[in-house]
Amino acid sequence: MEHSASTGRSSSLAYVGIASCLAALFGAILGAALSWAAPANKFTWVGLLAAPLWFFLEIIFEFVGLLGEHPRSARLLVAIATSVGFYVAFYALQAHAS
């Protein structure tokens, strides 16, 4: 009985880990693309373009079932991973893109 609860919890954590890694990857891809497309001195509002990606990932992950047993905390983790992936790639490549 305890083994099945432990296995269910670990698989749920694995799904949330996969979802957060995918969110960070997609955020980094979008950040890299926008660092190339955005002008060098106009990057103040470009972070708002990550919001539709985050919303799209929320819908996909909810449909597929990757958010696990605790969807509120998983959504927070996905939002943080998307933002971190986006901004790390954007600012790392911004200097090289111009």
Residues 32-77 pLDDT 10s: 988 888 776 666 677 777 888 888 888 888 888 877 777 888 888 9
pLDDT tens per residue, range 4-39 = 555 666 778 888 888 899 999 999 999 998 888 877
Around Cβ 48, how many Cβ atoms within 10 Å? Answer: 8
Domain spans, the chain: 2-97
pLDDT at 29: 94
Q: How far apart are CA 76 and CA 81, in angstroms?
A: 9
